[in-house]
A and B are shown apart, each in its own frame.
Chain A
């Protein structure tokens, strides 16, 4: 058709050549857009529109032509359709007839078919029911299993099974009743498990609480072992240092000790707690259990921290501290092994609670204690407790502070106890020199306290220079040192030697020395007793070096280093002063006694008719007394002390004789009286010389003697008997012969010197002449002295 149209177009329009341009373009399918755009841009679209009208006419002509051509064909198509309609009507009639026949024949078959379909439906329902029942059975089997686990206490398995039940319930159970029942039971079961597990934990808490004491005691016992081993090691090291021995052996020992420490393990069972942690984790309420555990353990701790008033603390303190130690050892294990049930802060809080309570309890109990050993026992146990818990990371500074602040109380109580012991020792002392019968006694009594005067072992029986008070006092001092060291060791002070030394000095000065002084000044002691006390003090001074060395030893300081930096005890100087006091008291006592005898001079006849070569009574009494004190002095005291006692006594006698001449009791005396005193003086001088040399004092110093102590009396008598008494005023002669005489005193004495008038007339001419000359000289001296004064 297109070909036909093109032919006509070509034939019709061959004349109008220009109008065919647009038509050709459209026929060729070319793009006419640019052409149209160009026409409008140029503002002259009329030409284009004209061409378009032409194309329209052309197309309309083509359509009309085509309709004319196919008119006939349309009529024929309609005729054919009419024919088909008739055929269809005929077919319809046949089909209806066939259908009726089929309906009649198939009715019976249809009934059968319906039955079959119903059976299929029933089978489907049955299949579903069976399937559903299987699921229910599966879930119920899980429930039975769960119940079985619960009844056997296998809660973890029970929870796992319960989880499966829960999932099956959600997914697989269409039976609503069962589903609701199970869903309502699950929380109940979980709650039941939770309660069961908490009940188990409570039982575990009861058990672990009753075990805590044993755990604590075991751990503290181990601390005791460690401390003992450390002590032995220190002892070895100290000896090694003192002997400058190689330390190789110590190192080996140390390594061995370290290996041993790692072996010890405390045995207790945390299984119920682990199980409970796990179960609560599965239940998703771990935080709740954590809170429960912490709260109840804190309550248990607070209960443990209560002291029963029914039992004395000194009987219950070990149980108390062992219980607390056990508690924290358990908590340490729980902290490290339960993966977060406890946190370090909680344990720290519990520890701070415990420390505060224990500290206040200790302060209270220490303030009530009146026995130093009790304080020491508790302190020892507390330091062991402290060192045990320090190993578990706990800070024990507060407890040590309490012990440290109780140190003064301990020292005072201990001082009182030692003071009482010293008092008993002093009270029971016989003031006799100890007789030591055998070597072991010598070692125990003398060598152990460094009381020996030489390194040579003496022959036995041996008489010691001291009385039994000395070794007994040394024993007490040694126990005081040990007690002080015991209390201070393992405390705050690492090097507590200076503290011990201070305590020791204080004890020796305030207790021992004070008691010695009280005894010396009591007025109840005799001269020999005072001598023994002085001798004892001399020995106690020497013992101070032993005390210091012993203290250093106990404090772990080697002996070699004691001498130089540590010096000596202050007490040593104080004791020396007390020895001086003893001598002063001794001197005073001796002089008092001498005075008693010298009062006999009052009964002396100061104007005798005759001279008496046998001496006055008083001098013999004095000599007897002097003999009674110098004999024990030679036994008890060292030679310098013997000299001191003797010289003091003789000097006092000399003073007494001079005082007799000065006494108001003597109104006048004559030459015979002076001669008699001269005889007395000769007797005492002879005794003095004899005693001086028999005591062995002559070997010490030839320059001194007991006789020298009588010089004042001698010079006075010499003056009174001198042929030329006026020479007293000659400075040179005075310096040589009368230097001890005081001018005023001499003047007073000379006033009393009256020669008897009777003597003159009764004498021979020769004697008269001599006495007359001396009288003149004496008168001159008297006059000059009177003028001089």
Chain B
């Protein structure tokens, strides 16, 4: 979960990229972290990750983004991906209906292996290929609403909505973490005995975010 590092950033959030093979997860990662796009498609082997620091409501947030292999044969290390992840970007390819149909399976996997409070956004990638579209935006929106997810259509090629997608996830994660910190702080206040003066260490409270918090 998130923890505080004093000198460099305020929060470190782990985000996983999941979805079928070939939907463009790696290019989403490279576009967001290095502003690069590679036309040659190579399958990701195992897992790669990259980081980028950005501002979320005045706080410095470092996003550690894990790019996973969509192919079945790398599924053995599945549970390791999700450990400590606070957010997930679930990607499908708007030109391949099957990748959209498989979203349900990825959601089940998230709910089986990841923290139940994980923030999920669904992304319909390759929106620049509108002439090859096989999944309408309405279909994506409807599924997202049914499942309670955020939804955006993106294009890693044209850098459409990539920044916005991560900003949205990180902001939502920040809100949840802040609520938990506040709850922890109130709990800490409740433990003080009357008549005793004690300095409250806010840093310690943030560090104890994981402990005994109810979900929002």
Contacts and interface: CB of A to CB of B under 8 A. Distances in A.
A188 B130 CA distance: 25
A209 interface: yes
B126 to A, nearest CB: 12
A308 B131 CA distance: 18
Interface string A191-207: 00000000000110110
B188 interface: no
A300 interface: yes
A309 B131 contact: no
B101 A303 contact: no
A303 B134 contact: yes
Contacts of B132: 205, 296, 299-300, 303
A56 B114 CA distance: 135
A310 B143 CA distance: 13
A206 B101 contact: no
A700 to B, nearest CB: 77
A206 B130 contact: yes
Interface in A293-323: 296, 299-300, 303, 306, 308-310
> Which of A209, A296, A308, A309 lies at the interface centre, i.e. has the most chain B CB atoms within 10 A of its CB?
A308
A202 B133 CA distance: 11
B42 to A, nearest CB: 20
A202 B131 CA distance: 6
B52 interface: no
A310 B130 CA distance: 22
A66 B132 CA distance: 116
A300 B131 contact: yes
Interface string A530-551: 0000000000000000000000
A209 B133 CA distance: 10
A202 B130 contact: yes
Contacts of A308: 97, 101
Contacts of B27: none
> Which of B95, B98, B132, B133 lies at the interface centre, i.e. has the most chain A CB atoms within 10 A of its CB?
B132
A308 B98 CA distance: 8
A292 to B, nearest CB: 11
Contacts of A309: 101
Contact of A205 (B95, B96, B131, B134): B131
Nearest to B131: A205
A203 B97 CA distance: 20
Interface in B122-137: 130-134
A296 B131 contact: yes
Contacts of A303: 95-96, 132-134
Interface in B90-109: 95-98, 101
B133 A206 contact: yes
Contacts of B130: 202-203, 206
Interface in A194-234: 202-203, 205-206, 209
Given A306-B97, A310-B101, A209 B134 contact: no
Contacts of B97: 306, 308
Nearest to A310: B101
A299 B96 CA distance: 11
B104 to A, nearest CB: 11
Contacts of A310: 101
A248 to B, nearest CB: 54
A308 B95 CA distance: 13
B171 to A, nearest CB: 32
B131 A306 contact: no
A211 to B, nearest CB: 12
Contacts of A306: 97-98, 134
A142 to B, nearest CB: 32
Contacts of B131: 202-203, 205-206, 209, 296, 300
B172 to A, nearest CB: 29
A206 B128 CA distance: 11
Contacts of A206: 130-131, 133
Contacts of A209: 131
Contacts of A205: 131-132
Contacts of B95: 299, 303
A379 B134 CA distance: 26
Contacts of A296: 131-132
Contacts of B101: 308-310
Nearest to A296: B131
Interface in B114-165: 130-134
Contacts of A203: 130-131
A300 B95 CA distance: 9
A340 B134 CA distance: 29
A571 to B, nearest CB: 50
Contacts of B98: 306
Nearest to B134: A303
A683 B131 CA distance: 98
A604 B101 CA distance: 87
Contacts of A202: 130-131
B128 to A, nearest CB: 8
Interface in A313-343: none
Interface of A: 202-203, 205-206, 209, 296, 299-300, 303, 306, 308-310
Interface of B: 95-98, 101, 130-134
Sorted from nearest, which 10 A-B pairs have the closest CB atoms? Answer: A205-B131, A202-B131, A206-B131, A206-B130, A303-B134, A299-B132, A303-B132, A306-B97, A308-B97, A300-B132
Given A202-B130, A299-B95, 15 more contacts: A203-B130, A203-B131, A205-B131, A206-B130, A206-B133, A209-B131, A296-B131, A299-B132, A300-B131, A300-B132, A303-B133, A303-B134, A306-B97, A306-B98, A310-B101
17 contacts: A202-B130, A203-B131, A205-B131, A206-B130, A206-B131, A206-B133, A209-B131, A296-B131, A296-B132, A299-B95, A300-B131, A303-B95, A303-B96, A303-B132, A303-B134, A306-B134, A308-B101
